[in-house]
Amino acid sequence: MMLKDKVVLITGGASGIGEAVTRRFIQEGAKVSIMGRSKEKLVKMKEEFGTDILTYQGDVSKYEDNDQAVQATINQFGKLDVFIANAGVFDGFAKFADVPPHALSEAYDFLLNINVKGSFFGAKAALEELEKTNGNIIFSVSGASFYPDGGGVWYTASKHAQIGLMRQLAFELAPHIRVNAVAPGGTLTELSVIPPLSPFVKIIDNNTKASNIKKRNPLQLAQLPEDHVAAYVLLASDESRAITGEVISSDGGLSVRGLG
């Protein structure tokens, strides 16, 4: 019960890695508030977890939705200890040279509004309440935050931007709020390609995707969402009180791939 009595708000907490984190946090004793866009998924999570969870339907790219999610969390659970900016979308490895200017611009607005602006807005909305609890912020970043070909240019740029945001916030918000990140590698999730880029992306089946992921990391793992949750638990807990401005890479060892 590493998170007993903690109150946590997770964006994108009803699917993929966010859902796995939500489930584990509740097992670890936390009360969890999740924000997402799919009413169906939110209702399913609420039916399963009852009073341990609060669900809020909203768009992370709108500040007012982030603010209302924070206020709903306070009204329900009385405080906020941890904010996790997890909501994200993907560009499907669309190639820069193949995308015409109008689609490039639409893709930029669509993806960066969620991946980057959503992180800005969520952190800002949670800030005042986290100051009261000496809480912490965790960003879901990516192997694409450090290496090329973890996505296309839109996704890679957005994940690099999140790292800059995380480090600057860790600097500005110390000593009262810790700010860290988890960087999953290639993971089998429902992460879908954004509409402006779907005409320029070849969709592959899960078996092919799993094979490709295994070839890219030294541990030869086709990672599942559950493979990453322990890193979030550690950073959200008081056991990591001396850690800020850091990224835990949960990627099968991408940094030691070598030339093989």
Catalytic residue IDs: 155
Q: How far is CA 181 from CA 57, 151, 184, 216, 249, in A?
A: 24, 19, 10, 22, 9
| Chain-centroid distance, C-alpha 39 | 19
Query: In this structure, how many other beta carbons lie within 10 angstroms of the beta carbon of residue 131?
Result: 13
Say what the alpha-carbon torsion angle 147, 150, 156, 159 is, to the nearest 10 degrees.
-80
Contact indicator for 33, 76 with CB cutoff of 8 Å: yes
Structure tokens at 73: 């969390």
Q: What angle do CA 163, 22, 41 make, to 5 degrees?
A: 105
DSSP 201: -
217, 134 contact by CB (below 8 A): no
